[in-house]
Structure 1
């Protein structure tokens, strides 16, 4: 694109939230979608399980709301939960209209012609899915639809550096005016002016050494919003998926919650089941309980993994329901129709994020946040399985509706200053970035993982602050690269995660600390909110 070329809506991120938003905006506005890698790369593409929505006759909006509130451990915003759940069926219909092909019904486990499965925390079968590759079906369909839109430009292999605000330009009334974006192939930064900017960048699970997420999940949107003056909330609630395949070559491959939903059993190395000792729901307990139980057993016995077994179901059933998992496990030497597979927990989902309202608006006028980057109040202290893609779709639609309603009253942004590289040089010490990246992810895993203590958190904060000062000095002296930008963002978000965890003097949902092992029931549960304005004061 031409330097300084203005767009109406700049969407940073190309998953289900960003792409559904682009499509919901219609054809009148000029839209640019920024994708850090190929447009298909991102957490949406790798989502296996499905999308939670009330579709069956024996289900209800109230039941879905109640399940979500219970999983959220008292911190869900009920208004948000109702807003999302009520709009679920329409979003599924919209996806079908776009061309997403969901798995057809088999026997009694279906509704409206589609098969529904059940996952942890759900009291009903309400997960509509495309076999065990729902994210891939949604992502590829939306990409095809967006590519067909003449008013939408997709910038692949581009990465946002920072948001541009009116305050930084010395203007009286603050507003988001666009963003600086790095072309990762040409290594050139351009300013993109926009009347509206949407963060759809996903979460920050790459802050941890072991994660199910792709390499793009580096907390970019959370860090950029914080630097632009937006509040963040509840970042202490990092969801660890209980079952990531344990194999040295199986990088980031999770085993879907639906495997347990269809009868999969968690076993110790001697074949003993253990989940019912931790929760009467057994393997269908919410993810935080399952992950902590596995972590407890691994530490108690000194073992490297536990095992997940679905081999008691008929082989045809397993292959038909989980074709992707079956094929991938075979590549690593495991036949899930005949044997249990080794699994461990891994960082999976960021429940907190940038504070937004029901229209996806942040604290900064003109800036929206949709999907995992946002803290809407839906997930509370623990995300319930398959509510994440639903949240992407609902808030993508809500943001589009609000932008369309405001489009005629928001003027074009003023000319933006070009990116200044006059006082920087090319780095001759890229090894510094690699070493800092490794150190960050290791201490986050060791000290800010599934089980925490005050001492561990303080150690992590000391290291995070030191790393941030080193990275900032590096950032100020050398030309930016994708690796440096990701490290800068991860270091910022890691410190925010630690600060949120230190502020919560209780165990609740995904935040478990040995120093405060029970919930604080002496007062109503409260969000952990950090405000950059308070830091600056």
Structure 2
């Protein structure tokens, strides 16, 4: 096995953000893409709803911007929102040109146009979709192109361990030079050298006991960037999707928000609706409001779940609009054309992340972050539905243009030191990893979930600090595994979430605390920015590293 792999661009992550960037750069550079498992196992594949963009003549850029700002509860960066929304149409057109089979309909003049649906927080129909499996259509299309591209090499079952920086090697000018990567099939750690490294590794929702995300959503990019000296922001804003199917075997199965967008009702166990008690927008209120309402009613009633009902619509309508959700629910014994579906909220999206500019550049020269692991200012205190895939595409395009423009200016990195395993042994206590993983996700759900208090947060912080020390000792003494890498990253991200939550003395968007149940109107809303102890001094960072 080759211990050193050299490439122009290393992309850690293989979802919509990573693959679209790889395809845009493959004409100019050699690109290595890392996938923790099979390429299709990221969050993109499981995204049901769609991509938001202004395509309807009755809609407008200003309306999309306004809706996003409202959903973000005063914390969105207006420039980031405008930048993203204004590039929506071209992102959809690029995906369509790649062959993504978006659902179409016949217009009044007989021409074919995109079928648009509406989701929570949107004032217009502006969500482009491929039936109810949009993420799968995007993922498979981009994967097919990436595998066919001669300059793209996809490494499956490859888990990034940590970033390699010039500072770690004692060099003067700090820069990201590559990453150590565990080959899950051989158990060996390789060195990937690159002129540019991009984190496209997704979010951290698996830090919670219940999540709509696949198992790989363990905050790897966020944790690695923090250890490398990058600022992290707004990690207290973890979005809980209101409607995941409640069934012991339905692991992470999300019921798309489009079900509510097309007229689905949320019901108590006795069959009565309740959203009118919480928001005049009813089921189309933003996700934080809907999730909190469901959580409140479940706790008030002591109910294990509530229900989502679209059976009042014609059965043909339901099957046509939601063929995949309908088929999957049938597998679990539920016919959504005939009966309500049992649902619970689950951790779904990480609104904070690694601070970047509008080109995806982080505080560390040569390191970019795009997609869910990045903090661009777009989402504020709450992400509006279907803005996430849009962000992936827009910032991948921007990062691609920036990297292509600087490729000639950056020499290939030198040979880097191999991974040192001379002082470690094989662990005979793997149960420690399993136990700590379970404990972490349980106390994060109990203490740092949809509703928080300072007392709960402090309990979580005390426990996570102890866990981090235990994991650090284990990491230093034993040969690493994929499970240990993910546990280490999850614990670090949990600590960042807790620190951010403790720092915000108000309730805003996705962060709701009983100690401060209202927004602080006495001063302008502020982002929660965490600065690592090894943060690069301002003099070391180019001028464009300002958010």
Q: Does the alignment reach a TM-score above 0.5? A: yes
Q: How far 1:533 sits from its partner (Å)?
A: 2.8
- Alpha carbons of structure 1 residues 417 and 212: separation in structure 2 relative to 1, 3 Å: same
Which residues in structure 2 correspond to 1:373-392 (within 5 Å)?
373-392=373-392
SS of corresponding position for 1:161 = strand
Matched, 1:403 2:403: yes
Q: How does 1:21-32 map to 2 (within 5 A)?
A: 21-32=21-32
SS of the counterpart of 2:40?
Answer: coil
SS of 1:242's equivalent in the other structure is strand
Distance 1:534 1:380 in 2: 26
Q: For the residues of structure 2 that align with 1:305 and 1:192, how far apart are their CA atoms?
A: 46
SS at match of 2:39: coil
Question: Is the Cα contact below 8 Å between 1:55 and 1:111 reproduced in 2?
Answer: no
Q: What SS does structure 2 have at the residue aligned with 1:181? A: strand
Q: Distance in 1 between matches of 2:113 and 2:495?
A: 47
User: How far apart, CA to CA, are the structure 1 residues paired with 2:9 and 2:26?
Assistant: 12
Q: Is the aligned partner of 1:154 residue 2:154?
A: yes
Matches for 1:224-373 after TM superposition, within 5 Å: 224-373=224-373
Contact 2:353 2:375 in 1 (8 A): yes
What is the DSSP-based 3-state SS (H/G/I as helix, E as strand, rest coil) of the residue aligned with 2:409? coil
Cα distance in 1, alignment partners of residues 350 and 225 from structure 2: 15
Alignment of 1:97 onto 2:97: yes
CA distance in structure 2 between the aligned counterparts of 1:28 and 1:15, rounded to whole angstroms: 21
Return the offset for 1:106.
6.0
What CA distance in whole angstroms lies between the structure 1 residues aligned with 2:3 and 2:522?
56
Deviation at 1:5, TM superposition (A): 2.7
Deviation at residue 6 of structure 1 after TM alignment: 1.1
- Give 1:415-454 correspondences, 5 Å limit: 415-454=415-454
Q: Secondary structure at the match of 2:514?
A: coil
Determine the structure 2 residue equivalent to 1:49. 49
CA distance in 2, matches of 1:161, 1:209: 24
Residues 28 and 404 in structure 2, CA contact (< 8 A), matched pair in contact too: no
The equivalent of 2:545 in structure 1 is none
Q: Please give the alpha-carbon distance, in whole angstroms, between the structure 2 residues aligned to 1:41 and 1:270.
A: 38
Aligned match of 1:188:
188
CA distance in 1, matches of 2:261, 2:112: 21
Counterpart contact for 2:237–2:352, Cα < 8 Å: yes
In structure 2, relative to structure 1, the CA distance for the partners of 1:106 and 1:515 (3 Å cut) is farther
Give secondary structure in 1 for the equivalent of 2:23.
Answer: helix
2:317 is paired with a residue whose SS is: helix
Assess, with a 3 A threshold, how the Cα gap between structure 1 residues 198 and 158 changes in structure 2: closer, same or farther.
Answer: same
- The equivalent residue for 2:542 is none
Cα RMSD (Å) of the superposition?
1.5
Pairing 1:113–2:97 present: no
| 1:120/1:287 contact within 8 Å kept | yes
Helix, strand or coil: the match of 1:380?
coil
Partners of 1:132 and 1:322 within 8 A in 2? yes
Contact 2:231 2:535 survives alignment (8 Å): no
Counterpart in 1 of 2:469?
A: 469
What is the correspondence of 1:170-185 to structure 2 with a 5 Å cutoff? 170-185=170-185
TM-score (norm 1): 0.98
Task: Report the alpha carbon displacement of residue 518 of structure 1 after superposing the two structures with TM.
Answer: 0.2
Q: Distance in 1 between matches of 2:27 and 2:145?
A: 12
What is the CA-CA distance between 1:2 and the residue it aligns to? Answer: 2.8
Asked if structure 1 preserves the Cα contact closer than 8 Å seen for 2:77 and 2:380, the reply is yes
* SS of 1:168 mapped into structure 2: coil
> Residue in 1 aligned with 2:540?
none
CA–CA separation in structure 2 for the residues paired with 1:535 and 1:199: 18
Counterparts of 1:105 and 1:447 in 2: how far apart (Å)?
A: 46
Change (3 A) 1:487 1:459: same
Q: Secondary structure at the match of 2:5?
A: coil
Query: Given the two structures, how large is their TM-score scaled by the length of structure 2?
Result: 0.97
Tell me how far 1:94 sits from its aligned partner: 0.2
Runs of 5+ consecutive residues of structure 1 not aligned to the other structure: none
* 2:87–2:394 CA contact under 8 A, matched in 1: yes
- 1:205-220 correspondence runs (5 A): 205-220=205-220
Deviations 1:314-343 (A, max 9, x none): 100000000010001111111000100100
> Contact 2:457 / 2:502 at 8 angstroms: preserved in 1?
yes
Distance 1:536 1:407, change over 3 A: closer
Deviation at 1:86, TM superposition (A): 0.3
Distance in 2 (alpha carbons) for counterparts of 1:53 and 1:111: 20
Q: Which residue of 1 aligns with 2:74?
A: 74
Q: In the alignment, is residue 199 of structure 1 matched against residue 199 of structure 2?
A: yes
Corresponding residue number in structure 1 for 2:526: 526
> In structure 2, the residue corresponding to 1:408 is in which secondary structure?
helix
Q: State the shift of 1:411 in Å.
A: 1.0
CA deviations 1:89-133 (Å, max 9, x no partner) are 00000001100011112677x996111000000000000000000
- Kept in 2, the 8 Å contact 1:57–1:111? The answer is no
Name the CA distance, whole Å, in 1 between partners of 2:439 and 2:12: 28
